[in-house]
Amino acid sequence: MALANLSAARGYSGGVMAYKTTIVNESNAYEYVWRRLRQFHDIETTVSRLSSERSIGKDQHKNLLKQMAQLSYCLTQAYEFAQSAKTSGSTTRALQAYYSVTALANAEILWRGDGNVSLDRRDKRYHRHGFDLRIGSSVEDFLAVPQVHEDGKIDGLFGLWRDHSRHVPQYAEETIMYPGGTASTSRRVISSITPLSDIPIKTNGFSMMDCFKHTPLMYQHLYSIGIVPELARGVITSTVDAGDEQNRTSSRLTTIIHPCNDRVREEVLEFFMYHPNDWEQLEINSLPGGAIFSVNREFSGDFNHRNGHSNSSPESFSLLKNEMYFVGAGALLNEYGYYFLGLYIMGMISRYHPQKWIKEIQRNSAITHLVDQFIDIALLRTPLLILGQMEDEVLLFD
């Protein structure tokens, strides 16, 4: 196994951010998420919360009010565009969904950023999409090419969003066994968090197919039609024995990579790194088409304050309470970023190159069905992912 590129890997240690996990029923996730996002329309309460959480002085109250009012506007705009996309036909829904995604991206920027990224103060370089559309002979060949500024950073709203967004942390289903035979099971965040700005982005362009292949909810369908996703399904479990009469605690952290394409699996495995002191406690088991890694540890004291050696793993996209999707070279974006890119391409084709899209619709081509599926998934997932970013929360379908 080759060494991982640490700039695109996450660390496992005792000091993870205060993220929590929440289980959401997929059937009503859309309504649940938008209902929770409405809390940000209470601007005074949002400002009070932000001032307290980030220790912002009263002298900035007026500026905070302005920025949170802008955030509220962006969330309203995102919802209205999403509702429109849900009821629109194939000629306009991609563009409506793209506008919803850009409004949600603005909401994340306004929540995370300082006053210099407010809608009225941000640099003019961010007042555009941030992509060049490279025209292809077919719709599958169109590319979104990130615009690079002279300072080497990505321009446009996409670049500003990427500067403020990050990967979600990884989580494990943890079972704690207590003296006396009782046990409890929960999900615990177990990793640090990687800002997207820490990972170099490719500038030779992204296609719609790149975005499909990095969409967890398209994973099974793509395999069924002979397209290999750039993701590897997996799960992380943790078992903790919370101590005996000598106050000794032992734990076992297991990562399972489910069987997948050989190239994708090897690409993902490149990003696993373990501390030399863990080698004697590390078990690596082969699985046909997959892999299993387990680390056993023993330590004294309170298991709630256990610290292990710093290990690294690939980034992953969260989805289910008992399943995540590991990503290799594609970790230069999080899941939201692929919706951002894909909907840009689809929206620009339908708006500025309708003659190409009309042909696909008329012959009911396979790409039109993939696009429809992608848009439906994006409308479900994008508000959920933004809520998670704003609330430091990993939202998982049950």
Q: How many whole angstroms separate alpha carbon 294 and alpha carbon 301?
A: 22
- Contact (CB, 8 A) for 108 and 386: yes
What's the pLDDT score for residue 309?
Answer: 54
- Contact (CB, 8 A) for 154 and 126: no
What's the pLDDT score for residue 145?
Answer: 97
Please state the domain extents for the chain.
Answer: 6-397
Q: How many whole angstroms separate alpha carbon 208 and alpha carbon 136?
A: 12
C-beta atoms surrounding 260 within 10 Å: 22
The rounded Cα 150 to chain-centroid distance in angstroms is: 28
What's the pLDDT score for residue 181?
Answer: 83
What's the pLDDT score for residue 9?
Answer: 41
pTM, two decimals, is: 0.92
- Contact (CB, 8 A) for 245 and 234: no
Pick left, alpha or beta for residue 152 (phi over 0 → left; psi -120 to 50 → alpha; otherwise beta). Answer: left
What's the pLDDT score for residue 5?
Answer: 29
Q: How many whole angstroms separate alpha carbon 240 and alpha carbon 183?
A: 10
Q: How many whole angstroms separate alpha carbon 151 and alpha carbon 235?
A: 39
Q: What is the pLDDT along the chain (398 residues), one digit of tens a residue?
A: 222 222 334 444 444 457 899 999 999 999 999 999 999 999 999 999 999 999 999 999 999 999 999 999 999 999 999 999 999 999 999 999 999 999 999 999 999 999 999 999 999 999 999 999 999 999 999 999 999 988 889 999 999 999 999 999 999 999 998 888 899 999 989 888 999 999 999 899 999 999 999 999 999 999 999 999 999 999 999 998 876 655 557 889 999 999 999 999 999 999 998 888 888 889 998 889 999 999 887 764 444 444 455 678 999 999 999 999 999 999 999 999 999 999 999 999 999 999 999 999 999 999 999 999 999 999 999 999 999 999 999 999 99
Q: How many whole angstroms separate alpha carbon 358 and alpha carbon 28?
A: 33
Locate 234 and state its tokens: 């997996």
